[in-house]
Amino acid sequence: MDTVNVSIELPRSVLSALRQDPATFGREMRLAAAVKWYEMSIVSQSKAAEIAGISRSEFINALGRFSVSPFQYNANESTSVSGDA
């Protein structure tokens, strides 16, 4: 797999405040970004799971942690239920 290394600088106090080591913080940040991009319909579930570095089933479980639906709807789809068939 072809990869790219992305580096960011954060104040050490951020990790202390979150009580996380750099590796855990990096994993959580990858997951949070993947969930948000999925929520915004920028990426699919499988691509989001790849970004997060986890399986698709693990990603679907993680969506619940972030209170994000595993179902994507577009503006033309109605989420309401009516008696009309």
Which tens digit of pLDDT belongs to each residue from 52-69?
999 999 999 999 999 999
What does the pLDDT look like over 30-49, one tens digit per residue?
999 999 999 999 999 999 99
Instruction: State the Cα–Cα distance between residues 9 and 85, nearest whole angstrom.
Output: 55
Evaluate whether 43 touches 66 at the Cβ level (below 8 Å): no
Q: How far is CA 45 from CA 6, 27, 30, 53, 66, in A?
A: 22, 17, 14, 12, 14
What's the predicted TM-score (pTM) here?
A: 0.79
